[in-house]
Amino acid sequence: MLKSIKVRSYMTRHPLTFRPELDLFTAIERLLEHGVAAAPVVDGRGKLVGLLSEADCLRATLAGAYHDDAHGAVSQYMTVVPDTIDINADIIKAAEGLLLDHRQRLPVLENGRLVGTLSRHDVLRAVKAFARHEAGRAD
């Protein structure tokens, strides 16, 4: 049953992260290099303070184009209160959160600390593994 599969089993454990003071264009470059749609923003103690997504970056560059001022720090453009998911949540809850809020990726927390991220891709890997397991039991 998919509800028995936990986020901890399929999350990305060492995700790309940004610091709030990082230059926005450096962050955009890193998102592109790593091929991810969003990355958590953490403070000096590793505490989650936001999430920077491709959408945030697009809004920032469009606003900058209109005002001839397309620069600044990640903290100026990130989503400050991002949706998160607990490491012990089930994959079904994670999939619902990703779909309902049109998210590509959710920060994963354990006891309030960032321990990874979970993407739509990660959830599909869990579904594939579950389907293979179920097919093996039917034989």
pLDDT > 60? residue 1: no
Task: Provide the b/e sequence for 122-131 (b: ≥16 CB within 10 Å).
Answer: bbeebeeeee
pLDDT tens readout for residues 29-76:
999 999 999 999 999 988 999 999 999 999 998 876 656 566 789 999
Work out the percent of the chain whose per-residue pLDDT is above 70.
Answer: 88
> Residue 87: which domain range?
2-138
Q: Which residue has the higher pLDDT, 2 or 4?
A: 4
Q: Is the pLDDT of residue 135 over 70?
A: no
> What 3 state SS string does the chain have?
CHHHCEHHHCCECCCCCECCCCEHHHHHHHHHHHCCCEEEEECCCCCEEEEEEHHHHHHHHHHHHHHCCCCCEHHHCCECCCCCEECCCEHHHHHHHHHHCCCCEEEEEECCEEEEEEEHHHHHHHHHHHHHHHHHHHC
pLDDT band at 10 (very low <50, low <70, confident <90, very high): very high
CATH number at residue 44: 3.10.580.10
Answer yes or no: is pLDDT of 109 > 60. Answer: yes
pLDDT for residue 122: 93
Q: How many domains does the chain have?
A: 1
Is 112 a residue whose pLDDT tops 90? no
With beta carbons less than 8 A apart as the criterion, state whether 77 and 57 touch: yes
High-pLDDT (> 90) share of the chain, %: 60
